[in-house]
Amino acid sequence: MAASLGLPLNFKVGVDNAIFSVDPAQNRLLVLLVMRESEPFLGQWSLPGTLVRHGESLEDAAYRILSEKIQVQNLYLEQLYTFAGPGRDPRELSDSQPLRYLSVSYFALVRFEEAQLMGTGVRGIAWYPLDEVPHLAFDHNRMVEYGHRRLRNKLEYSPIAFDVLPELFTLSELYQLYATVLGENFSDYSNFRAKILKLGFLSDTKMKVSRGAGRPAALYRFDAEAFAPLKDKPLVFI
Amino acid sequence: MAASLGLPLNFKVGVDNAIFSVDPAQNRLLVLLVMRESEPFLGQWSLPGTLVRHGESLEDAAYRILSEKIQVQNLYLEQLYTFAGPGRDPRELSDSQPLRYLSVSYFALVRFEEAQLMGTGVRGIAWYPLDEVPHLAFDHNRMVEYGHRRLRNKLEYSPIAFDVLPELFTLSELYQLYATVLGENFSDYSNFRAKILKLGFLSDTKMKVSRGAGRPAALYRFDAEAFAPLKDKPLVFI
DNA sequence: GCAAAAGTGTTCTTCATACACCCATGA
DNA sequence: TCATGGGTGTATGAAGAACACTTTTGC
């Protein structure tokens, strides 16, 4: 190490995605894992990742792996955190010249019902409930933690829920999403309802939909124009 | 470009610091800029930055440049955002082999009174009021913007103010810090005072201090133990 | 005594919380 | 007609905003 201090240090740069989704049927918060098919950590679960290619931005790379693993029409994606400590990838040691592996993690939220996992049974890819995530390759467990924290914050302070709901949705679908992500100590349905309607960016389409038994629910639509003035304001949906 | 698509892509990785401070005398929010002493962008203002060295983590590198530019005892520092788009550094073009320049930006808040700028008049280094920041090298203006947003959020939701105040401080010093960063549409002094005291993590030292004319102010101390249970809670100081 | 800075208290309104209750549908 | 999910209303207390007022100092 001491001998290499003067040498120019190069990096390999990868992108890893922490992709979250909510299964509305089971009310569970899920994260997408893939089985590693090469060394290091062959056969271990990990986040879907890739090395950044020529002419490609970090975000491009993030979208590329995402679309290689699942097909979705709607999603929210943003940069999460960058990990680059020495020793985070075992390949550093085996390389002849000084090299480090840096990974920029991205956070994504996708719609569960429309997400099509790519690859047949042979290729390991699966949704894992957040409280059953196994030990992952590299520092990917930390990425999942960071992502989970970001998800909760984003949901409270910004309208990412509407990037991931169908264009028309009922207020209980919206409530289920919030309650699943934010946990049990969340506002009750009737207060949530009153609060979010008062904010004024949900427009009633006057259409109704019946989900099994019970009174049919009104379908709402997110009104981006009405939301615009609230942007960057300390909105709290909780 | 097309020809190099199959080649392995290596990166140089740098760290750039957006270092903020508040001048209590002038009630101004400042950011630290340095004059570039080498190509590219020779002679242009920029954020203090460095390439990451062997065996050094990103955070190590961030602390290293920081301490090369200013001396402080107390500071708050955290990772901000990673920039790596193709074409962000002109050196990419001149290099013979495919190479990209990635920069991880860090956000720091330091105490103005104790910050000693390193370097004599020859080396360009200066505090700039945030609304007078000139056109900077690379994408550093975006880093300043990101940092400014982070500063406002952090101040509202976490106790970074106390990392940057003297151990003993008056409530108006605390108020000045908040008001300078968060702007004029901030809570008035008496409401701020009542609110923050009710939170219960400021302990009155019973000491008084006189700053010129007027009634002497009580000196308070941040009580980390009393604050601990409030950690991660949606604290809002505003 | 007066200005200046620190500190206290009061009023009014808005919002959060915890409920109870009514409505429309399927089985 | 009853269970089920959707939707409305209300009482209570806590929190926010605006502002008047008192206290303690220097000059």
Q: Does residue B70 contact residue B85 with C-beta atoms inside 8 Å?
A: no
**Rg, C-alpha atoms of chain A:** 21
Nucleotides of C under 7 A from a protein CB: 3-9, 16-20, 23-27
Please tell me the predicted confidence (pLDDT) of residue A118. 84
Identify the band that residue A236 occupies on the pLDDT scale cut at 50, 70 and 90.
low
Is residue B72 predicted with pLDDT exceeding 70? yes
Query: Closest Cα partner for B31 from B117, B102, B89?
Result: B117
End-to-end C-alpha distance for chain A, whole angstroms: 51
In terms of pLDDT, which residue wins out, A39 or A96? A39
Task: State residue B91's pLDDT score.
Answer: 84
- Of residues B26 and A143, more confidence is placed in A143
Q: How far apart are CA B126 and CA B45, in angstroms?
A: 10
Q: Which residue is nearest to nucleotide D23 (CA to C1')?
A: B215
pLDDT at A49 over 80: yes
| Average pLDDT in chain A | 90
pLDDT value, residue A225: 92
Q: What's the half-sphere exposure (Cβ side, CA atoms, 13 Å) at B158?
A: 11
Question: In this structure, what DSSP letter does residue B56 have?
Answer: -
Name the burial class of residue B187, with classes exposed (0-12), middle (13-18) and buried (19+) by CB atoms within 10 angstroms of its CB.
middle
Q: Where are the alpha helices (DSSP H) in A6-161?
A: 58-69, 91-94, 140-157
Q: CA–CA separation, A6 vs B21, rounded Å?
A: 34
Query: How many angstroms separate the CA atoms of B124 and B119, rounded?
Result: 8
- The pLDDT value recorded for residue B1 is 44
CA distance B168 to chain A (A): 31
Could you check: is the Cβ of residue B195 within 7 Å of any atom of nucleic acid strand D? yes
Give the global pTM: 0.92
Q: Is the pLDDT of residue A94 over 80?
A: no
The string of DSSP letters for A120-180 reads -TTS-EEEEEGGG--PPSTTHHHHHHHHHHHHHHHHHHSGGGGGTS-SSEEHHHHHHHHHH
| Average pLDDT of the residues in B42-64 | 95
Query: What is the per-residue pLDDT for A232?
Result: 67
Region A85-104 average pLDDT: 84
Q: Give the pLDDT confidence score for residue A2 in this predicted structure.
A: 45
Local structure of residue B202 (DSSP, 8 states): E
| Residues of A in Cβ contact (< 8 Å) with B53 | 5, 9
Q: What is the pLDDT of residue B143?
A: 98
Instruction: Report the pLDDT value the prediction gives residue B42, as an integer from 0 to 100.
Output: 93
CB atoms within 10 A of CB B232: 9
> Does the pLDDT value for residue A59 go beyond 50?
yes
CB-contacted nucleotides of strand D (7 Å): 3-10, 16-20, 23-27
The residues, ordered by sequence, that sit 6+ positions from B176 with a Cβ below 8 Å of its Cβ are B22, B24, B27
Q: Which residues pair with B220 in a beta bridge?
A: B169, B204
Q: Which of residues 119-148 of B touch A (CB under 8 A)?
A: none
Phi/psi-derived region of residue B107, left when phi > 0, alpha when psi is between -120 and 50, beta in every other case: beta
Provide the CB-side half-sphere exposure for B98 (13 A, CA). 17
Q: What is the pLDDT of residue A234?
A: 58
C-alpha distances (whole Å) from B136 to each of B40, B47, B77 are: 12, 8, 22
Residue A4 clears pLDDT 70, i.e. is over it: no
Q: Which residue has the higher pLDDT, A120 or B125?
A: B125
Task: Count CB-CB contacts under 10 A for residue B209.
Answer: 13
Token digits of residue A76 = 């929210």
Report yes or no: A174 and A196 within 8 Å, Cβ to Cβ: yes
B11 touches A at CB < 8 Å: yes
Percent of chain A's residues with pLDDT above 90: 70
C-alpha–C-alpha distance, residues A20 and A111, integer Å: 9
Is residue B174 a contact partner of residue B168, using CB atoms and an 8 Å limit?
no
CA-CA-CA-CA dihedral for A191, A197, A200, A203, to nearest 10:
160
Instruction: Check residue A42 and give its pLDDT.
Output: 93
Mean pLDDT, rounded, for A174-201: 92
Tokens of B156: 């509202």
Q: What is the pLDDT of residue A98?
A: 82
- B2 pLDDT band, cuts 50/70/90, is very low
Please say if the pLDDT value at position A175 is more than 50. Answer: yes
In this complex, which residue's CA is closest to the C1' atom of nucleotide C23?
A215
How crowded is residue A5: how many other Cβ atoms within 10 Å of its Cβ? 12
Q: Which residues contact A97 (CB under 8 A, 6 or more apart)?
A: A7, A10
Tell me which residues have their CB below 7 A from strand C.
Answer: A 187-188, 190-191, 194-195, 208, 210, 212-216, 236, 238; B 170-172, 189-191, 193-194, 211-218
Checking if the pLDDT of A3 tops 50, the result is no
Instruction: Give the pLDDT mean for A76-91.
Output: 92
At A96 the pLDDT is 67
- Distance in angstroms (rounded) separating the CA atoms of residues A29 and A129: 6
Higher pLDDT, A8 or B113: B113
Three-class SS state of B59: helix
Q: What is the pLDDT of residues A105-151, one digit of tens each?
A: 999 999 998 898 986 555 789 999 999 999 999 999 999 999 999 99
CA angle B155–A102–B80, rounded 5-degree value? 15
In contact, B99 and B92? CB cutoff 8 Å? yes
Nearest to A79 among B10, B81, B98 (CB): B81
Q: What is the DSSP letter of A114?
A: T
